Chains A and B, each alone.
Chain A
């Protein structure tokens, strides 16, 4: 096995990977920008390398600096995590050219699947259903009009190089098509430096269900089942679960979608972990969307239900081991749900809320897993994604997992910054969520009738008592600049003297 691996990422996912490395007896090398010297991943790693200023374009996205750090620290492999350079084929190629192993697919597989239109073409060749539409760039307005007419409105414009909803526009009637193409093209141009957009039919109120696949260097391909990620806000996933409530009722969907995902993976000569994303319509027809050629944020729900460690698996495959199980060995037990805990304020339209973590109480107990990148006293940098931690619960069934994650959400307290913990508490009590009646419009519907929740009984008295005690114990401003900590230290010292 590798002796040392560099983790080209930050935050909770860097911590997650460093933990796996430690478990496998591999030394870890963290990388950090100026904003992350104090970050948890740097504290937990065996070695750490500074790679530049706070801005990610000057640090976590700098291929040259990451390679230089890997060489200097003699890392034998690089794990890219998710985001940043993880799906960048040039990065994968540059890593391999340096003689270092890239923990992921080959650069050529990333290229074949990286463009949404190229992946669509591949899927069609493999007889995997795709959303009706075509891959022609919607540059000729006449062609675009004819295609939209043929598909029937509403249609969706999508960026070929896209992700995260950028360069995406829904068009409900022909009169809006020209303006929407112009807007989507310029947005895609700015976000991805490629203004290419194409047209698909809108699937109304779909579910978002994705299949986890794994492949080794010896032609073994296995799928690890699905994750349902229908709860999304502005095309960003918020809550994920395994199994999908829909698939749990229709187990044949798992086989069909898993087989479809593997056909695409085989055609792309894929290796390591990947995820094929699908939309599923109201009539349970599924349509291939795209392949994410990396570890997903939401991988823990699959781990809890299959009992596998996906990061261990990634490292073993990269080292050259074969997948140590066959398709028929994979079993799915119980149910797991994940909430993406972010520093953002639901009462202010989920506005990012960076700042210092003043207090932190983390949930624990049966069936709870917390993949977190924070600690009390740490200041969340402004420059990066607001994801702080992923709270995941497992139970023998979905109802139990909902009750368990609700209990853990009640135990979880982060003060100093606004978070979406309260929002998740409410979602877990929603009747539609509990029934498993999900689609990608769920969160928008939820907010259409959302009000700031009613006060809990006694809230006024409890808040008043807490505030009064705080004012009694803590002077408004410490006159000589003494911090709280030094005040207890001196208190402790004086007690010892007694």
Chain B
């Protein structure tokens, strides 16, 4: 059986048998033997799915339900909802887009200020601004959705 996982939005197919060489050694920490090599990966939940840290890199991951394969493939092409969330509590100081705008990957959407630092929240993939959930001057919490892209 093949499993499909979206890694940073791109579909990766792996053979389910490979899971036999994956051991959870600590909660959320996986020792993986693959191709004779030993890897370690750490998985934590994020508001949008899972984060995986391995080899000094962090990627997002989402396991695609086999019944929703088509949806998964579509999302990988840039479709699907994308929630832009605030990484920490702060204040919205500038909105850079309006509802209905088409945005490119990496385009700035909202500027949030916290601990006297300004942080521009960017689109991870191209899409369209479906919804803006905050206004200038709003106080936001960690993980709050600021903008929804489709």
Contacts and interface: CB of A to CB of B under 8 A. Distances in A.
Nearest to A411: B40
A422 interface: yes
B56 A460 contact: no
A156 B3 CA distance: 60
A359 B28 contact: yes
A326 interface: no
A345 B119 CA distance: 11
Given A359-B27, A359-B44, A468-B3, A463 B59 contact: yes
A72 interface: no
A465 B87 contact: no
Interface in A404-463: 409-410, 413, 415-416, 418, 421-422, 425, 453, 455-456, 458-463
Contacts of A455: 57
A464 B14 contact: yes
B5 A464 contact: yes
Contact of A422 (B14, B56, B89): B56
Given A459-B55, A465-B19, A484-B27, A352 B115 contact: yes
A458 B52 CA distance: 13
What DSSP secondary structure best describes chain B's contact surface? strand
Contact of B5 (A351, A382, A418, A467): A467
Contact of B34 (A416, A453, A465): A465
Given A359-B27, A468-B63, A461 B34 contact: yes
A353 interface: yes
A332 interface: no
A223 B40 CA distance: 45
A54 to B, nearest CB: 13
A120 B33 CA distance: 60
Given A460-B12, A464-B12, A415 B42 contact: yes
Interface string A89-125: 0000000000000000000000000000000000000
A471 interface: yes
A308 interface: no
Interface string B2-14: 0101010010101
B87 A353 contact: yes
A150 to B, nearest CB: 36
Interface in B41-64: 41-44, 50-59, 61-63
Contacts of B34: 458, 461-462, 465
B117 A351 contact: yes
Given A354-B88, A470-B30, A462 B115 contact: no
Contacts of B117: 349, 351-352
Given A415-B28, A425-B56, A465-B18, A353 B88 contact: yes
A470 B57 contact: no
A125 B39 CA distance: 61
Interface centre among A413, A421, A461, A466, by most B CB within 10 Å?
Answer: A466
B26 interface: yes
A355 B55 CA distance: 22
B114 interface: yes
Contact of A468 (B19, B27, B44): B19
